Amino acid sequence: MSSKRISYTVEGEVQGVNFRSFTHKQANSIGITGFVSNASDGTVQGEAQGSADAIKEFVGHLNTGPSAASVNEVKQKEMETKSGESGFNVR
């Protein structure tokens, strides 16, 4: 199974609405590793690694977000995979 890694930025009303804990829960449920953090510009950013299908599903969750969030856009770009990473962290 080939692995894929992306960096992502979620724009909109995404801070103060439990977006990071939502992202953490979704990532764990589909086997994604990586991290999520709040950025100083009001976006939520991070990296995610998993199978192509899992990444696609994960990005779908990012586009939806928790019920209190209002997602305007999810930007993503592929990057090199990291070996030895375990779990998904909230930073």
Just list the catalytic residues.
Answer: 20, 38
- Return the HEC string of the chain: CCEEEEEEEEEEECCCCCHHHHHHHHHHHHCCEEEEEECCCCCEEEEEEEEHHHHHHHHHHHHHCCCCCEEEEEEEEEECCCCCCCCEEEC
